[in-house]
Amino acid sequence: MAIRTILHYPDPRLRVKAEPVKTVTPEIARLLDDMAETMYAAPGVGLAATQIGENVRVFIVDIASEDEPSNLLEFINPEIAKRDGEQMWSEGCLSFPNVHEDIKRAAKVTVRAQKRDGSTFELEAEGLLAVAIQHELDHLDGVLMIDHVGMLKKRIINRKMQKQRGASA
């Protein structure tokens, strides 16, 4: 396992739409392991393969709090089968360090995906898990958190990210 570099906005690779995984190979399993190590080190609650420059439809989520045991969920070729309701959630993103914005999402989702062994599963999610799934699935489609806010908020986020880049250069 290895900790990978997380791409930060406005890296153009974050806008690339991920390709479906044709076969779950040992390389995909290794990618999932690397993603988990990277996400936990960051720390975060979700990570899409595109955020580390891998152009495949894979993401992971673990919404367990620090005092709870890990509950890592892996999603290969995920798709949302159903959306219900609406909720606002203050979201953060590992590709937008130190940025949090209120984003409107579905309150409840049903997602279908494959597991590491290639089998298919379906999961109903609500609350933070539903938000995390929608957020990470957006990444696989090249859609970012900044795309869900108005023009003024976009300008503020852009300035904040430019300052952060300048400070780390």
Give the start-to-end residue ranges of the domains of the chain: 12-168
Q: How much is the pLDDT for 166?
A: 77
Question: How many CB atoms are located within 10 Å of the residue 143 CB?
Answer: 16
d(CA 126, CA 78): 16
Give the start-end residues of each E strand in the chain: 46-48, 58-61, 73-84, 87-93, 96-105, 108-114, 120-126
Residue by residue, pLDDT tens for the chain (169 residues) are 899 999 999 999 999 999 999 999 999 999 999 999 999 999 999 999 999 999 999 999 999 988 899 999 999 999 999 999 999 999 999 999 999 999 999 999 999 999 999 999 999 999 999 999 999 999 999 999 999 999 999 999 999 998 888 766 5
Catalytic residue, from 54, 74, 101, 136: name it: 136
Predicted model pTM:
0.95
Q: How much is the pLDDT for 164?
A: 86
Q: How much is the pLDDT for 165?
A: 80
Q: What are the φ/ψ torsions at residue 36 (nearest 5 degrees)?
A: -65, -45
136 given a catalytic annotation: yes
Q: Which amino acid is at 104?
A: K
The distance of Cα 6 from the centroid of its chain, to the nearest Å, equals 11
Per CATH, the homologous superfamily of domain 12-168 is Peptide deformylase (3.90.45.10)
